[in-house]
A = this chain, B = another copy of it.
């Protein structure tokens, strides 16, 4: 059998699979919409109930799987125990025809605390596409740290400042600035240097608020263009037309990750939004379940709201459940009835 024929055969299969893939993607988006519609009233109801449970979200975070837990350091947990009040995930582009049901925001609500002035930190993730990548991008969130209390060693500030400088540059150049021009900003160098210096120990979870992209930042316009091209390509394939040879885009030779303060920020966000958030009740129950522990035997003084002066040993309370759970960990898709 001659090789050229086989090459065409292989190519034909790949083209069929490309079309199929786009159909799978449409089904997936439809399911995210359906899931949000079905669950949103329940998430609202959950928020009402858990607002009456002190430390609910901290207890949940204590039970998350290890892939997510690695992003959260002991000092972060200390902060959560002190003042984390609410977590809320929303699919803010779900009804936006130009947006994506894959985009989401994660909003943390905090009480008065010794670390920062913000009462709320909301991190938004937009699902965007470029010619050869698709994923979540974000913008740095400004955390107003109290003096000497910045858990990120200045990284969130520097990331925020670079983002602002990029915006100013883009405005002045009437569009998105070239990566090369961005790399010449003083804020770029400042952040790159700070990241290079900050190599000791695992970064605080709060550094995640400075995350931009695990690839590069993609503007809504760029994403829309890539989406359009992709749709056209699929339509051509469906009609059995030949595709034009694609030209490789010029590489602008910038290391986009040089100024990324939290390289796996999208992965961390996805775990928060798609594991922690929908499974919060299960994790909370896990914190309380102990083989021989009857609910009535829980030392309720530990959970008394009036007691929440920062001295409650949440880790102790949770650790109890955890040691039992680890003897026979419920697997992800199983639930204890």
Q: Out of B27, B266, B301, name the residue touching A6 (CB < 8 Å).
A: B301
- Is the beta-carbon distance between B7 and A134 smaller than 8 angstroms? no
- Is the beta-carbon distance between B333 and A298 smaller than 8 angstroms? no
Hey, which chain B residues are within 8 Å of A333, CB to CB? Answer: 102, 136, 270, 274
- Is the beta-carbon distance between A27 and B10 smaller than 8 angstroms? no
What's the minimum C-beta distance from A137 to chain B, rounded to whole angstroms?
A: 11
A326 located at the interface, meaning its Cβ lies under 8 Å from any Cβ of chain B in the complex = no
Q: Out of B10, B20, B132, B300, name the residue touching A295 (CB < 8 Å).
A: B10
Q: Out of B13, B24, B30, B133, name the residue touching A52 (CB < 8 Å).
A: B13
Q: Which secondary structure dominates chain A's binding surface?
A: helix
Hey, which chain B residues are within 8 Å of A135, CB to CB? Answer: 331, 334
Q: Out of B31, B46, B331, name the residue touching A35 (CB < 8 Å).
A: B31
- Is the beta-carbon distance between B331 and A270 smaller than 8 angstroms? yes
- Is the beta-carbon distance between B337 and A300 smaller than 8 angstroms? no
Hey, which chain B residues are within 8 Å of A134, CB to CB? Answer: 334-337
Hey, which chain B residues are within 8 Å of A17, CB to CB? Answer: 46, 49, 281, 284-285
What's the minimum C-beta distance from A296 to chain B, rounded to whole angstroms?
A: 6
Known contacts A331-B267, A337-B134; A27 and B39 CB within 8 A of each other: yes
Known contacts A21-B281, A133-B337, A298-B7; A38 and B27 CB within 8 A of each other: yes
A255 located at the interface, meaning its Cβ lies under 8 Å from any Cβ of chain B in the complex = no
Q: Out of B23, B136, B274, name the residue touching A334 (CB < 8 Å).
A: B136
What's the minimum C-beta distance from A72 to chain B, rounded to whole angstroms?
A: 18
Q: How large is the interface on A (under 10, 10 to 19, 20 to 34, 35 or more residues)?
A: 35 or more
- Is the beta-carbon distance between B298 and A10 smaller than 8 angstroms? yes
Chain A, 1-49, CB within 8 A of any chain B CB: 1, 3, 6-7, 9-11, 13-14, 16-17, 20-21, 23-25, 27, 30-31, 34-35, 38-39, 42, 45-46, 49
Which residues of chain A have a CB within 8 Å of any CB of chain B?
Answer: 1, 3, 6-7, 9-11, 13-14, 16-17, 20-21, 23-25, 27, 30-31, 34-35, 38-39, 42, 45-46, 49, 52-53, 102, 129-136, 214, 226, 230, 264, 266-267, 270, 274, 281, 284-285, 295-296, 298, 300-301, 303-304, 306, 331-337
A–B complex contacts, Cβ < 8 Å, 7 sampled: A6-B304, A10-B300, A17-B284, A24-B42, A31-B31, A132-B337, A270-B333
